[in-house]
Amino acid sequence: MFVAIVPGQSILVPEAPHLQRFVPPAQDLRVRWRLSATEFLFTPLLMVLGFVGLAAVSVFADIALSRSRGAVHDLFLRLFPHDNLLRMLSVIASGLVTVTTLTLSALLVAISHTSTSVAPVVFDQFLRRRANQAYFGYFAGCATFTYLVMAVSRPEWIGVGAMLAVVLAAGALVLLVFMGYGVIDQMRPTSVVRSIQDLAIRARLRQMPLVARSRRRRTLDGEPTSVTTRETGYVIDISTARLQDLLRGTGEEIEVEFRVRIGDLLAYGDIVAHIRGGDTGRRAHVADNILSCVMIDRSRNAGVDPDHAVEQLGHVAWAANSTRQNPDVAVAAIGALRDLSARWAAAGVPDAELYGGPLPVVYEDVVQRRIVTALVDLVVVSTSSRQHQTCAAALSTLADILPQLEGRDRDVAVRSLQRALPATLSHVASVEMGHGLAKLRATLDTIGREDLADEVREMGPRLARESGLGEEGDMLDSLDDSTPTGPLSFRFR
C-alpha cells in the first residue's frame, strides 16, 4: 500500500506495481556510511578506538602494579591520593569537552564567513583534510580516555591511567595552538586556491586510465542500444577495470559510447551510454551491466573529479569578482587555472598500453574546455563589478591557453570567446585591459584567426573612446610599441 498525503489527512491507496520503477531506490546504509567515513569520520573514529585501547592498557597496568605492593606503590598513593585523582580527571574531562565545543563553534563561524566570501568549497576542504580529522580525533579520543579511566579507577591503584590523562590533556592544549594556526592558514583564499589546484592534479592522474584507454570518436555506425539510469546524482567515476571485465572477448564488435562524463548530474531516464555493434544478445548483455561501471553519488568530489576542481576555482574567482571583493583572489584563481591548463597540455594523454591497452569505449575528455568556460564566465561577470583587473587577467590567460588547445577544443574556445568579447567594452581603458587585448590579438593572429584578431583590435580604440581618451590610437598604439605580449608574434596593421 502507498500512503497519499492530502492536506489534513492521509489516505491509503492500493499499491501499483507498474509505478514501482519510478520510485527512486533508497540509499543503502552501507553506501551512506562509506561516504561519511571517506569524507570525515574514518580518521577520528580510528583515533578514538586507539585511545580506548590505550585506556584498556593503562587499566591492566594499574591492576598489575597494584598487586606488587612495595615502597614505590605506597609512595605513589601518598603523592597522588585517589580522591585527588578523581577530581583531577573530572576537571580534565569537562575541560576537554568545553574546549572542544568552543573551538568547534568558533571554527564553524570562521569557516562559514570564509565560505561566504570565497566559496562553499571551503567546507569540503575543511572536512577532507587529514590534519583536521586528526585534531578532532585526538580531542574526542582524549576525552573518551579520561572518562573511561575515571569510571574504572580504584583506590588501591597507583594511577597510571590518571597520569597518562594529564599528559594527554597537556598535549591537547599544545595541539590546540597548532590547530588554531592551521585552520586560520586554511581559511586564506590563496591556501584555498592552492588546495583546489593540488586536488585537481591528483584527480587528473586518477582519471588518466579512462582517458588513455578510450577513444574520442565512435567508429561503429548503426542503431544503438541506449542505456538509461534510474538513479539521481553525480557521476563520480567510471571504472576501467570493470569495463575491461565486461568487454573482455568482444574485441571491436561492441563499442560503448558514453553520453555522460565524470561530474555530470544525472536524473531519472537520462541516457548514460549507447551500445553499438555485435549481435542483439551481446549488446543486451553489455547494456544490462554497463551501469555497474558507472559510480553515481549525491555529491561531487574534487579529489576524483578534475572538472569539479576546475569549476571550484571558477567559483572562487566568481565570488571574488563581485562588488567590494579583493580582485587579488580572483587573479590567484585565474593563475591556478592557467597552471593546470599548461601542465595538462604538456603532459598530454599517455599511451593506452601503460594502463592495460585500449578499450572499445568512447569518452570525450573536455577538461580543457572547462577551464576555458570558467575564464570566459569571468570575462562576462566582471562587467557587473567593473573589475578590469580580473577581466584583463582572464583575457591574458585565454591568450596563453589557446595555442595549447587542439581540434575541437580550440574551436569551442574561440566561439565562446567571440560571444563574450563585447562584455569587455564595459570596462575602463586601463593599462591592464590594453595588455590583455593586445596579447589576445597576437595569439589569435598566431593560431590563424585573423578575423577575430581584427575584431579584438577594433575593441581597443572603442574602449579608449568610450573612456574619454579621445583619439583611437591613444590606447593600443603605444602598447604595440612596447610589445607587451613577449615572445608572441605581432602582425601590425
Please state whether 231 falls in left (phi above 0), alpha (psi between -120 and 50) or beta: beta
pLDDT of 238 > 60? The answer is yes
234 in Cβ contact with 300 (< 8 Å): yes
> pLDDT tens-digit profile of 439-453?
999 999 999 888 888
Lowest pLDDT segment from 3-17, 44-58, 105-119, 135-149: 3-17
Q: pLDDT category, 185, cuts 50, 70, 90?
A: confident
Rounded to two decimals, the pTM is 0.76
> pLDDT tens-digit profile of 207-228?
999 999 999 888 888 889 999 9
Please state whether 278 falls in left (phi above 0), alpha (psi between -120 and 50) or beta: left
Q: What is the CA radius of gyration of the chain?
A: 31
Look at the chain and count its residues: 493
Choose among 217, 316, 304, 221: nearest CA to 258: 217
Task: Look at residue 242 in the predicted model and tell me its pLDDT.
Answer: 93
**Alpha-carbon span 422 to 284, nearest angstrom:** 50
Max avg pLDDT among 34-43, 69-78, 442-451:
442-451
